[in-house]
Structure 1
Amino acid sequence: MSQKIYFDESGFTGNNLLHPKQNYFAYASVATDDDEARALVEKLTKKYNIQGGELKGANLVKFSKGRKVITEVLDAFDGRIKISISDKKFALAGKFHEYIFEPCYSSINSIFYGIGFHRFIANVLYMEFTARGAGAEELFSEFESLMREGTGQNLETIFSSSAVAEHSDTIRLIREFAQVRHQDIRSELESLTDGETGKWVLDLTNTALYTLLANWGSEHDVLTAVCDHSKPLRHNQELFNAMVGNTKKLTSDFGGEEHPITFNLSGPIEFASSHDTHGIQIADAIAAAAVYVFSGARDEASDRWRHIIVRQAHYGSVVPDMDELRLGSQRPQLNTLVLHQLHQRAMKGLSLTEGMPEAIANMGRSLRFSPYSAA
């Protein structure tokens, strides 16, 4: 028997991850059925006299009465909720590695993912953005524009507008690396020029939905996915359609952690309106609560929600981890050395892949014997 899972989001801004008033994106899911969801929504709208008879999370979090509604929703479905939450600026920093660095060594990218280089770069950029202000904002803004437009013009001087004295030496290395390897970056951008793909290249919806479904699939043999209408999801259905009727349960140890990567859908993703689908309204309220909590709200409701939200908000979530930058640890030291090695090779016109696995292994061995002096 198929388990219905309802999905909805809060904080959606598409390719605009630098939206000044929407710092977080949450994609929430709840395992229920039409009858249970309808009964709860009708009960709550009547009990709290909710206008329109519909739960709208963005409105509910604004008022004490609405927050009481969300509390009842979370209590009713605790244990049947999964949430993906993303800090948008950090997600953009992660995309930076994906489209600026990875195209330059794609043939051996598993080596770099294995040492967490992608996480190192994302956290370095995020730290610069939050700690150093205007110059880093220029770099992020220029990268976001580059990805949205996808033209690849003036790549030879990319990020020059963000070259300010306040920047760390690490940002200089990243900027110069990107400028020298502009041909690799241009080739990657050209692969996104089919219009719609480039239009949603920075959007977080597809990845969040896929990760949530994969984790639900580890609990249920067959899933029926019901989502609110979404342009990014409607555009890209290939990955999800490939899971219709799939019975293989595969995992990946990407990044050193094992994750489920397959699931079994009863059919293509179903799209429905929140007005007519009570399960989507439940998911919408949960997503709004997640954004409310992660945005730093401190009140009686958010304090009560926090233990539920945090426990359920780790499925593909994209949030910073400053442990990736603690130079007292060997992994950040190694990734710092790797960045210097990549920059040095790029500036000299040398191959970024030939002999690199061996070089990384040698650096790792040196750090194990002399973790501070080697770094």
Structure 2
Amino acid sequence: MECFRIDESGYTGFDLLNAAQRFQGAAAIAIEDDDARCLIREHFPSLQAAELKYSALARRPANHPRLLALQRDLLTHYKCVTYVCDKRYLLLLMYLDYAVEPFYYERGHDFYADGQNYALASLLHTAGPTLFGKSAFERLLASFQRAVKEKSPQALGALVQAARSTNWQALPEALGPLAQFAAPECLQAIATPGVSTDAAWVVLQSLISRMEVMADSAYRVEHDQSKNLRTYHDLLQRYIDHDEEITFRQTEIANLTFPLKLQSVILVDSKSSPAVQLADVMIGAVVEAMNTLTGQRSRGLDALEVISLYSHEQLIHMLPSTDFDQQKRFRQGTQASEVIDYFASHFYK
């Protein structure tokens, strides 16, 4: 049975405002350990460490050409997919999901039509600090994140006050439901058990949608037994166990169909899995490239060269974009509302 190996980077649980780790992602690669071991030996014949780790290798400029060549081999000869998201942008999307959309739903409006929520989140990401006041906007996002985690009346009240402390009248369509109305349907959505700002399920959905396309038939997943990836493990098992027949259109290039071709998920020690180590190299390089391109880092591999190695279908990203016409085309006819409702009722109780 075909096996995809997975590793992640940038996981910070519910905290999507962690300034030191702006991006989160994961990579999946279908390669056997024997082939992975040969590739590591070919590109790093003098490696003394017990485990191939991107973060350690990338510190030395002499390793950069080897890391680029290794990734080029993987992307050329093996089934690969890498997903990366801007966690602040994702938090804004979640804010719209829970603190805004229920208000419009109660009034008969489809807030998700043609991906307009993505366009609004991009606008907030770009112009929010200017529109609403930088400090006040930061407090709003922190208060939202805390309210989703704690779900207490005190935290929900603090969120409403944070919204009212912003210059919300500059864009009442976005902040008005809480600031003007303290909309009970929004507060109830935020307080719903299972609702979380943890991005693991978003990352997994994206990886699975591509693995399901790349896999010719039934396949399995192996990933490291680290604490972070145990969250991914539990979610993957829930997806595997779900046997209802249903298909969702997510974007113009991605659908998700249950039951999955994915049959099993296994925890392994990355030190004994060269294939998982290669997944670490893939996601480590992309996350570092995104940090470089956004001015968060100044050292490491050439970011543009790393991104240029990928074909269109090998790299999935959730990043803000103010090309609103392109966003509309990409997400036209998608089933965002149905997907959110379905996953909330079947996987996140």
TM-score, normalised on structure 1? 0.73
* 2:272 equivalent in structure 1: 276
Return 5+ residue gaps in structure 2 as ranges.
330-349
How far is 1:295 from its partner?
1.3
Pick closer, same or farther for the CA change 1:108–1:77 going to 2, 3 Å: farther
Any idea what SS the aligned residue of 1:123 has? helix
- More displaced 10-residue stretch of structure 1: 5-14 or 289-298: 289-298
* 1:219 equivalent in structure 2: 214
CA distance in 2, matches of 1:110, 1:62: 51
Any idea what SS the aligned residue of 1:30 has? strand
Indicate conservation of the 8 Å contact 1:135/1:163, yes or no: no
Any idea what SS the aligned residue of 1:134 has? helix
* 2:115 equivalent in structure 1: 116
* 1:187 equivalent in structure 2: 188
CA distance in 1, matches of 2:105, 2:236: 25
* 1:5 equivalent in structure 2: 4
Paired residue type of 1:320: P
Pick the structure with greater CA Rg: 1
1:301-325, Cα deviation, whole Å (9 max, x unpaired) = 433212124745543x311011239
Out of 38, 62, 65, the position equivalent to 1:65 is 62
* 1:323 equivalent in structure 2: 323
CA RMSD of aligned residues (A): 3.2
Number of corresponding residues: 313
Indicate conservation of the 8 Å contact 2:81/2:313, yes or no: yes
1:333-371, Cα deviation, whole Å (9 max, x unpaired) = xxxxxxxxxxxxxxxxxxxxxxxxxxxxxxxxxxxxxxx
How far is 1:234 from its partner?
3.6
- More displaced 10-residue stretch of structure 1: 13-22 or 220-229: 220-229
CA distance in 2, matches of 1:236, 1:303: 33
Indicate conservation of the 8 Å contact 1:8/1:228, yes or no: yes
- Aligned ranges 1:21-100 → 2 under 5 Å: 21-45=20-44, 47=45, 49-79=46-76, 80-100=79-99
CA distance in 2, matches of 1:285, 1:69: 11
Q: Percentage identity across aligned positions?
A: 18
Paired residue type of 1:264: K
Pick closer, same or farther for the CA change 1:66–1:273 going to 2, 3 Å: farther
Indicate conservation of the 8 Å contact 2:250/2:256, yes or no: no
How far is 1:330 from its partner?
9.9
Indicate conservation of the 8 Å contact 1:27/1:287, yes or no: yes
TM-score, normalised on structure 2? 0.77
The answer to which structure has the higher strand fraction is 2
1:4-48, Cα deviation, whole Å (9 max, x unpaired) = 111111111111111111111121111111211122234444x2x
Return 5+ residue gaps in structure 1 as ranges.
332-375
Pick closer, same or farther for the CA change 1:242–1:235 going to 2, 3 Å: closer
How far is 1:81 from its partner?
1.7
